[in-house]
Amino acid sequence: MGFNSFTFILVFLPILLFGWYSLNRLQKYTLADALLVIMSLYFYYTFGVNFLIILAISIGVNYALSVLVNEIDSRDTAQNNLYKKLIKTIGVLFNLGLLFYFKYLGFFADNLNAVFKTGITVEQIIMPIGISFFTFGQISYIVDRTNNEAPHYSFIEYALYTVYFPKLIQGPIAFHKEMIEQFRDKSLRTYDSVKFAGGLMSFVIGLSKKVLLADIISRVVNYGFEQTYYLDTLTVIAVMLAYTFQIYFDFSGYCDMANGISLMLGYKLPTNFNSPYKAASAKELWQRWHMTLSRFFIKYVYIPLGGSRKGRYRTIANVLIVFILSGLWHGAGWTYVCWGLMQGLLVVWDDLGIVSVEKEGKFLFRKEPLLVIPRALGRALTFTAFVVSLVFFRSESVEKALAMFRRLFFFTYPGFLTRTASNLDIAENYIFRQFLSQMGGINENVVYMITMVIYLVVSGYIITRKNTQEIIEATTFDKKTLIGITVLFLWSFVSLSAVSTFIYFQF
């Protein structure tokens, strides 16, 4: 049961909102928290009972470690810090071990077999949805707890922080303090019509991004990457652009929906997505894309490695390590390593200060950049580099990614573009296709081509406009706005029958 499902929209969410505000209105705050925990667990249970068991074990072990820290603090002995370091090590190893087993064990075994000619066999392991998100959240708590930066919470507070369903399966990676402080604030449990309307609008916009754009564009993407060895140059360009827009609308759509649901409950999630394709450098892009993952790696990996405090070359190495780990976080495969390394190299290039959109900045080898370019050019170059890097991100193997690049840079045109565009022969486009077909007897293949071009152009236009948060902040909820939201919701709702899962579910 995802956010983009009939069951969630028509049953789960209305029941939860009614129960939540009813209990809080009666000042039954503990019962309200228990309801939210139970509903969040049920939400996760719909993806598989085994997943729920793993989540429960993870919560139990991490909370038990926090209890041990509490016991150590109560004794106040000379060995306190030593014991806490031991608990930190156990906690980090447990969480990373859980992640390694479900996400990386098969990848590790395959590479051992390839390098050392061993015969290690690993049965197929089904990875729990969202394990990377709730595992990193709990690592942050255990590290902060043992570093005396986090208190010991009640079990229901900690459970609610971990299983809070708007962020559970696809982030953001929220820190304990920013969520639990909100859960403790009783004033946020009172129904706020303005906040609720903003949340509802955010949910509808996110749903429309997912259903009306990402899911439809995905048909072109899936077909294109399945036919890698047969594509021509123009088709490769179209497929690369389509995937760039698909992952944008898929991820930002989920963030909008999660933020909207949380706002309807009275809480604000940390910002995770802020118009990254408006970035004028790779460094800026990663300050806008998956922002909570970036801050996690900065706090718990980059800074402990020395950050930028141990010289220029160590800084470069630390940046590359962080981005390689970020690539591996997204998936167990060499394609993700290549993607992460490419992004890391682009960020290092920005740090060198050879070319920059800023006249002043903090560069590694110089005070001022050698060449300052217009921001518009910087945006175009950054976007192009990201489009190219996503070939690694989406391809099934490095070999297929390289095959895609060969077809991109060595021009061919055997006419595969029309076959790719024909995947847009779906019910959502029926009226539009009929309209084009009646215009002077346009060939069916031309109709498909025009349809694909329109989707790509509209997608490109939307990413240059205000993001959802900016739209909501500038909106007055008058009748015109309500009609617009209603139409957008109904249009998205009737298209849910062909909906697909979110891309980031696999991470």
What are the pLDDT digits (tens) for 143-174?
999 999 999 999 999 999 999 999 999 889 99
- The pLDDT, as a whole number, for residue 441 is 62
Percent over 90 (pLDDT), the chain: 79
With a cut of 90, say whether residue 436 has pLDDT above it: no
User: 238-242, long-range: CB within 8 Å, 24+ apart, which pairs?
Assistant: 238/417, 238/420, 238/421, 238/452, 238/456, 239/420, 240/387, 240/388, 240/390, 240/391, 240/404, 240/408, 241/387, 241/456, 241/460, 242/217, 242/452, 242/455, 242/456
The encoded tokens of residue 294 equal: 């970036």
Sequence spans of domains, the chain:
6-191, 195-276+408-506, 281-396
Q: Average pLDDT, whole number, for the chain?
A: 92
- Nearest CA among 211, 170, 203, 384 for reference residue 285: 384
With a cut of 90, say whether residue 507 has pLDDT above it: no
Confidence at 361, pLDDT banded by 50, 70, 90: confident
- The pLDDT, as a whole number, for residue 505 is 62
What are the pLDDT digits (tens) for 371-392?
999 999 999 999 999 999 999 9
- Average confidence (pLDDT) over 335-358: 95
Task: Give the end-to-end CA distance of the chain in Å, rounded to a whole number.
Answer: 17
- Whole-angstrom distance, CA of residue 132 vs CA of residue 168: 10
Which pTM was predicted?
0.93
Confidence at 433, pLDDT banded by 50, 70, 90: low
The encoded tokens of residue 302 equal: 């980059």
The per-residue b/e assignment along 183-218, b for 16 or more CB within 10 angstroms, e otherwise, is beeeebbeeeeebbbbbbbbbbbbbbbbbbbbbbbb
The encoded tokens of residue 505 equal: 């579910």
**E strand or H helix that includes residue 290:** none
- CA torsion through residues 447, 453, 455, 461, sign: negative
The per-residue b/e assignment along 330-349, b for 16 or more CB within 10 angstroms, e otherwise, is bbbbbbbbbbbbbbbbbbbb
With a cut of 90, say whether residue 185 has pLDDT above it: yes
- Whole-angstrom distance, CA of residue 292 vs CA of residue 352: 25
What are the pLDDT digits (tens) for 264-281?
999 999 999 999 999 999
- The pLDDT, as a whole number, for residue 416 is 87
- Residue 388 class from Cβ within 10 Å (0-12 exposed, 13-18 middle, 19+ buried)? middle
With a cut of 80, say whether residue 438 has pLDDT above it: no
- Whole-angstrom distance, CA of residue 304 vs CA of residue 300: 6
Token pair 């909102």: residue: 17
- Residue 304 class from Cβ within 10 Å (0-12 exposed, 13-18 middle, 19+ buried)? exposed
SS3 22: helix
- Average confidence (pLDDT) over 90-100: 97
Q: Looking at this protein, which amino acid is placed at residue 400?
A: K
Residue of 152, 176, 290, 330 marked active site:
330
- The pLDDT, as a whole number, for residue 497 is 67
For residue 181, how many other CB atoms are within 10 A of its CB? 10
- Average confidence (pLDDT) over 468-473: 94
- DSSP string for 136-149: HHHHHHHHHHHTT-
Q: Is 176 a catalytic residue?
A: no
The encoded tokens of residue 457 equal: 């152009």
